[in-house]
Structure 1
Amino acid sequence: MIKNYVPPPYPEEAQQVCHVNYFSTLDVCQVLFPLLRPHARVCNVSSLSCHDSFRDCSSAMQNRIKTSIHTIEDVTALINDFVKAAQTNEHLKQGFDKYPYGISKIGVTLMSTIQQKTFDQEGADDIIVNSCDVGAGGWVATDMTDQYGVSIDRGALNPLFCALLPPNVKAPKGKFLYDEKEYDWCAA
């Protein structure tokens, strides 16, 4: 879709995509979270691709994702395992999906859920963290995508919905949103 784009070799692509989408998001959260005030809203931009990649992982990997990820360190280990396996083209044998983008967005979505649980456990004053898709699996009509995807206005709806949740709302909290609704991204 992106004009004249030639992807780097797969090992490099896996590392770059996970660095930008997961590790950089995590870094920004770690720096900014201490500055959050009561009633703050955090929207981590994920993608419906997390659902597609989850579905295309092996059943053993799906089980790991659903039952063994409880901390940010667990998510980071999952993403590091993918990047390491991709360096030697072992990622499919280890049960990961083939698309680094989707795997990185699994990381962002899991991270968001855990961040919310952490705020809840710490007794944070109405701080809410959600993740969301911006429409069409992350495709927004811009020059970069040759105008493929949803309009910029449509792409802004999910993040705005997350950011403008009213004070003391009970839900959504720690969820993945698609079309302004909770979406069970890890249903195979």
Structure 2
Amino acid sequence: MPQVFAETDLQKSNQIFVVTGANRGIGYGIVEKLATQIENGIIYITSLKESDGKSAIESLTKSLGENKKSELRCHQLDITSAESCKKITTHLKECHGKIDVLINNAGVAFYLETIKTLDEKYEKGWHSMNVNYFGTKQITLNLLPLIKPGGRVVNICSQLGKLQHHNNLKYTLKLKNAKNYEEIEEVIDFYMGCLKEDTCTKNGFHESPYRLSKSAEIALTVLQKKLFKDKGIKFYAACPGYVNTAMTLFKGTLTIQEGADTPTWLATNENAPDGVLVFQRKIMEWY
């Protein structure tokens, strides 16, 4: 009798992965790991400039050599642009019909000590919200109709978004228990009003817009798990840790490969916990 081997989660063929902001940093590391684990898959590297995606493919193809098990492709994507999100959605639908996994890695951060004026803080605060929350929401809603039942959305969040970093019970509970997008965005609007008036501390918020944007992104993950449960799509919030990348001004204590481990695990492992914040493959309470 011939032997029968069970197909594992890391051996499924013909899977389509889309990784946003993947031409460098953690996104690059995620693609690198996926390319060595997924047999005969197709992994999309998206970047603001298509040329950056092409350069990433050249670099990975050279460094991985025979260890590369999946095809790498690139596509331009600005998650804050409705037109850009629509273009990649159309491309993926025409080329593949469906996709398996979306990994929302694209994000921005800035350091408060580099800000010189309140107006600059307010401007960069909105940029943080527009990329880390609204952009993540926009590309996810665009691609959701293409994600197969049993597919996944992995959001690269941060433990800096834990609600304990804020001291405003009314609005932190609103994030924790959000029943719709409007409730999350009500918190963002109130926070940005505080930021504009320089009253964040007075109103119980941390001064960093990045932290609030990541709180909102975790809340988005938890909410979408509830909203799309019937579609069989799972949503994951991954904290990569303090990684040595340009975003951390290369001060991080973890390597890109270490930072990419949990997001890749969430994207591929059948037993990975969904709808919660996960760091180093373990659930981390965010409230």
Q: TM-score normalised to the size of structure 2?
A: 0.55
1:124 aligns with 2:231: yes
Mapped to 2, the partners of 1:37 and 1:154 lie a distance apart of: 29
Offset at residue 103 of structure 1 (A)? 0.3
What are the residue-to-residue correspondences of 1:148-167 with 2, within 5 Å? 148-149=251-252, 150-166=254-270
CA deviation digits over 1:131-187, x for unaligned, max 9?
111112xxx213454432110000101110110022xx5x6121111111111111x
**Relative CO higher for 1 or 2, CA cutoff 8 Å, sep ≥ 6?**
1
Equivalent position SS for 2:148: coil
Mapped to 2, the partners of 1:109 and 1:154 lie a distance apart of: 21
Over 3 Å counting, the alpha-carbon distance change for 1:57 and 1:36 in structure 2 is: same
Match of 1:81 among 190, 195, 198: 190
What are the residue-to-residue correspondences of 1:24-39 with 2, within 5 Å? 24-39=135-150
- The question of whether the paired residues in 1 share the 8 Å contact of 2:235 and 2:274 is answered with yes
What is the root-mean-square deviation in Å for CA atoms of aligned residues? 2.2
1:6 aligns with 2:110: no
Mapped to 1, the partners of 2:218 and 2:247 lie a distance apart of: 24
Aligned identity (percent) is 25
Q: TM-score normalised to the size of structure 1?
A: 0.82
- The question of whether the paired residues in 2 share the 8 Å contact of 1:45 and 1:133 is answered with yes
**After the TM superposition, which of the residue ranges 41-50 and 9-18 deviates more from structure 2?**
9-18
CA deviation digits over 1:27-72, x for unaligned, max 9?
1111111111122111011101012x533323444344334x2212
What are the residue-to-residue correspondences of 1:1-188 with 2, within 5 Å? 6-7=114-115, 9-51=120-162, 54-67=164-177, 69-120=178-229, 123-125=230-232, 127-136=233-242, 140-149=243-252, 150-166=254-270, 169=271, 172-186=273-287
**After the TM superposition, which of the residue ranges 73-82 and 86-95 deviates more from structure 2?**
86-95
- The question of whether the paired residues in 2 share the 8 Å contact of 1:85 and 1:91 is answered with yes
Bigger radius of gyration: 2
- The question of whether the paired residues in 2 share the 8 Å contact of 1:18 and 1:83 is answered with no
Mapped to 1, the partners of 2:166 and 2:131 lie a distance apart of: 22
Identify, as 1 or 2, the structure richer in strand.
Answer: 2
- The question of whether the paired residues in 1 share the 8 Å contact of 2:175 and 2:183 is answered with no
Instruction: Give the number of equivalent residue pairs.
Output: 173
Mapped to 1, the partners of 2:246 and 2:161 lie a distance apart of: 24
- The question of whether the paired residues in 2 share the 8 Å contact of 1:141 and 1:152 is answered with yes
Equivalent position SS for 1:106: helix
Mapped to 2, the partners of 1:99 and 1:6 lie a distance apart of: 12
- The question of whether the paired residues in 1 share the 8 Å contact of 2:151 and 2:234 is answered with yes
Mapped to 2, the partners of 1:33 and 1:7 lie a distance apart of: 37
Residue number in structure 1 paired with 2:65: none
